[in-house]
Structure 1
Amino acid sequence: MIFKVLYQEFASEVPVRERTQSMYVEAKTEREVRKKLAEKNVNIEYIQVLNEDHLAYEKQSEDFQVENV
């Protein structure tokens, strides 16, 4: 499955909508995504599993790239 992760670049940052970034991670569960990102020291706001339709929509973006973590 592909998960969309919304996060702040630094773990100490308070979430601010204008600075929220996103990345896409392939994993089996949300817990696995969190384990993979633990070393990156980011402040995870939200993790969303993408269904087929939503994934197809996200792939249309030029910024779409599945992270290799």
Structure 2
Amino acid sequence: MPSVKKNFKVEINYEYCKKCGLCYWICPTKTIIAGEYGKPEVPDHAKCIGCLQCEKICPDFAINVIEDGEK
């Protein structure tokens, strides 16, 4: 059986986010990057490997990584 890559979507709740930068600092694939004024942005969800490091390190519970079907 061939391995199937799962898709993930990184949701950022900007009402909770204080732009601390921990999420894009810890992201191993640079799915989350620093946008204008340090605001985290996700230009390409396909890069996410679902490691959940950003979700775990966020002190404000502003990040939710969800599985988004299969590729």
Q: Quick check: TM above 0.5?
A: no
TM-score (norm 1): 0.27
Q: More helix by proportion, 1 or 2? A: 1
TM-score (norm 2): 0.27
